[in-house]
Amino acid sequence: MTVKATVGAIIEKDGRILLIKRNHEPFKGYWCIPGGHIDFGETPEEAIKREVNEETGLTVKKLKFFDYYSEIYKEIKWHAVALIFICKAEGNVKICPKEVKEHKWLNEKEALKQKLAFEHKRILAGYIENERKY
């Protein structure tokens, strides 16, 4: 088993945070921030731009590293280090149905009430508490 390197994007617009509903395992049917695996030869910054575009159709125009989180779920044999970025993105959301079932723009209270995948509740709570001013 190897540890995965992943990225996640906190994208906020008009006081609302973008969440997507996963359409694949693990955590199928759960909400999350856009993101995914870093490909071989790809920087985390390249990966977050690619993943956001693939999943949402948005183009990342500005990004800032926020924090990293360990995601360890022995019951599903999952261990990842997630690098989280705060992103400014442009365009209209057009989801990739293979990966994403639907999307929502939610205020912080609504976002934290969702059934969230991985460590995304902790990630969003940390963002709301510490880094909202980007």
Query: Quick one: pLDDT at residue 130?
Result: 85
Domain holding 65, by residue range, is: 4-130
The overall average pLDDT reported for the chain is 95
Instruction: Give the integer Cα–Cα distance in Å for 45 and 49.
Output: 6
pLDDT tens for 98-119 read 999 999 999 999 999 999 999 9
Domain of 54, CATH number, reads 3.90.79.10
pTM for the model stands at 0.93
pLDDT tens for 59-111 read 999 999 999 999 999 999 999 999 999 999 999 999 999 999 999 999 999 99
Active site residues: 102
Domain count, the chain: 1
Q: What is the DSSP string of 34-92?
A: SEEEPPTT--HHHHHHHHHHHHH--EEEEEEEEEEEEEEEGGGTEEEEEEEEEEEEES-
Average pLDDT estimate for 111-129? 96
